[in-house]
Structure 1
């Protein structure tokens, strides 16, 4: 008897799951299905699982395709299961190609290609699986699609970019259903879009999607002016759609915990916030585009921290920038933000390198997040008496894009137009800081 095993979360069971199990059964005489426990899903960074373990096991049992169902509870269990159950073939979807090659020491490993377009409309509506399209096919979009497999309730189906050949290659690589020739056609195929294109196109593409009745997750900054962003929010409300800015830091567990502790009174009254984000860039749109530069590329990160920690209504904003040539983009910028009760500084650079940390200064102590603070995994609170110092450790899985996508999916499924993790007023406050810093910048050097 040839024994086959496969694993998965099997949340919101749909035709794609069914087809995977059917194809797995065809490879042997006995099929064991491992269903991941909720604690293991948490440990491996799987987000937004909608059904309980009992419900997900029921999905498999009701399918009638499994001879045996087991629960996967910890990392490394696959090796033990394969040996214990005398498995001949391990089967998994092709979006995990290479990930489980190490199991070939114990059994045959088979990666099954994805069956395109398998999730029907009826199942999607009944189960809540959202069809997602991506607009753009650059580096961040590639990371986003890889991260999407860790988020339950969503399936990336389509891609559009102005270069159709590039879209086709992207769709083939990631086994997407459609590589669309126009944005309008893509919008006909999906329930939601992720926009990751040059900054100056965000407003146009987001507006088209909202007008087509499609939810929007858009890379930061969504807009380069407050009125444009306000108009998009008004349009989203008019169409009962979700519009969310993809500031991944805002949705990361470590950043949320850091803000909560800083604002809890542990540090006393917060009197200063200093945040820095720099990276060296030698070519690309960041240096060549009229709306490129350090502020538009990186400014939203420190501005987010400042707004979250000090509020949405600063009294004054001033900035100094080092430009590329006389009229080029800003290679480095320092922005001072004043509040009635505190001061803040945001330092960003794409042509100047500095320590990328975050310091929150209070009347009782201070909070320190080492570089890269925008990927918060660890921070400390420090006091006059070092015996009171504390260290905090949190998770930050993958590239962090899964956190913003999970929040976006939850907002759609729960019909919630706003997230407490990034309120609209906070996005507008960040947009205002960016607009004012760019508009009033004084050059040096």
Structure 2
């Protein structure tokens, strides 16, 4: 048995292919209605199991090359718990958020143009359970260390318009996050067993093509595995308002990149990881593993009848339907806005590292605030978006006044009554602080 003080954790990993059949539907772009025609990168599910050898607690982290787990989360957690015994609250489900994956969101995809392949989904859930079991069986004593790298292709897609609002265009004159958080696991013989890394940018560089693939994330994962000879896991950050963009005088807006260009982005991100592994300042991860979660109810504004009526003749079928459904609710006597259950999950390794997993397409301001506020108590803070049962976009307080897609239009697609109410950001952070302070 290895010395607990030097190798205080166990870590195991496993991966499995979850690529749908060619000819099935894709999800991520409402305007893309044609069936898939190919696969440019197979989609995978990667499981990482980390156990605190002293305390016995295990974190089971599942990262999948889908939009996310969304409202399948309770079922998947239940299946994993039944098969492994790991408590549901100690299971963290993450999506890379590729927009070239299968339809999986029951509250959106099943009722829209994409449709859900139930047979595929059930088979995929079985694979997720299998890979979770395999990761647990793969555990060996490890030393964990942490670092932070840098990669610069993420840009905000909320360019200030000079009038207090925003336009959908690339900019660095709005909040953004170029950090690459890292967690490395070395075995007792000094071998690098696994690397977890993160970044904050929508994997939408490929646009609405008709092939399955993981965008820049998929290319980065494969590049790392080839260079390092070990497995790797990607955790998407608070990328709700962030996209990949390479400045080019020929493009004032986000282009649809060729796969060769996206592969270059993936290699750039992988290069940031490798540079830190070879030359970075790494610090030990230590302390008891503590996992907590809390459910909040997010509230959405109820608009006026005239505000809904203004959208009845919209050329966008989704927006017109949104107006009809909300008017029908008003006619039925409903006088309160929509709500959504929102999970905050935190993972602590003593005071050396805190993961903050939020169940939404979080605006990057959440990541920046988390690092600023929590960095007083933790040596490293790692914000994660697209975790567990994703509710959709969660804008920052500042963005409510600016407007834009992340504030309003996105709510029309998922049939919410209106934008989030004021004060939502502070409520979420009150929950984060409460969990990490043990309150």
TM interval, short-chain normalised:
under 0.3
Larger Rg: 1
Kindly indicate whether structure 1 or structure 2 has the higher relative contact order, using CA contacts under 8 Å at least 6 residues apart.
2
Length-normalised TM-score, structure 2: 0.21
